[in-house]
Amino acid sequence: MLLKRDAVEMSLLLDYYGDLLTEKQRTCFDLYYNQDLSLGEIAQEAGISRQGVHDFLARAEQALEDMEEKIGCLARARRQQQALARIVRAAQALRAVPQAGDLAEVILAAAEEIKE
């Protein structure tokens, strides 16, 4: 039986590395993790067996995790988000310093640009 992994984590991995999967793997993965369909529902929609869906998902999960382990885009993005949050907090603290208020606003504006 396939144990459903963290859907948010899997969806993020799909966002980063989904183009490396086959179309069928990507479709099954999306239906399972993003649309929350059961294996049976996906099998019926895709015209394959429930076991086939299970196999597609297992291979897709492994491929995505292997890519993340080798390339690390998701981990890097998380580190960048954490660093950006620290920058924003520091700039907000700088607002209280009279001579640094303008600089704090420049830093906060740059942080907003990075977020987008």
Residue 32: give its domain's CATH number.
1.10.10.10
19 and 60 inside one domain: yes
Q: What's the token pair of residue 65?
A: 């995790």
Q: Is residue 37 part of a domain?
A: yes
Q: Name the residue range of residue 80's domain.
A: 75-115
Please state the rounded mean pLDDT for residues 38-44.
Answer: 95
φ/ψ of residue 48, rounded to 5: -130, 175
Q: What angle do CA 10, 70, 77 make, to 5 degrees?
A: 60
31 and 59 inside one domain: yes
15 and 52 inside one domain: yes
14 and 65 inside one domain: yes
Phi-psi region of 48 (alpha: psi -120 to 50; beta: other; left: phi over 0): beta
Q: Is residue 1 part of a domain?
A: no
28 and 63 inside one domain: yes
Count of structural domains, the chain: 2
95 and 111 inside one domain: yes
**Per-residue pLDDT tens over the stretch 81-113:** 999 999 999 999 988 888 888 898 899 999 999
Claim: this prediction has a pTM higher than 0.85: no
Name the pLDDT band for 2 (thresholds 50, 70, 90): low
φ/ψ of residue 96, rounded to 5: -75, -15
Q: Is residue 2 part of a domain?
A: no
Q: Is residue 64 part of a domain?
A: yes
| Alpha-carbon span 89 to 2, nearest angstrom | 42
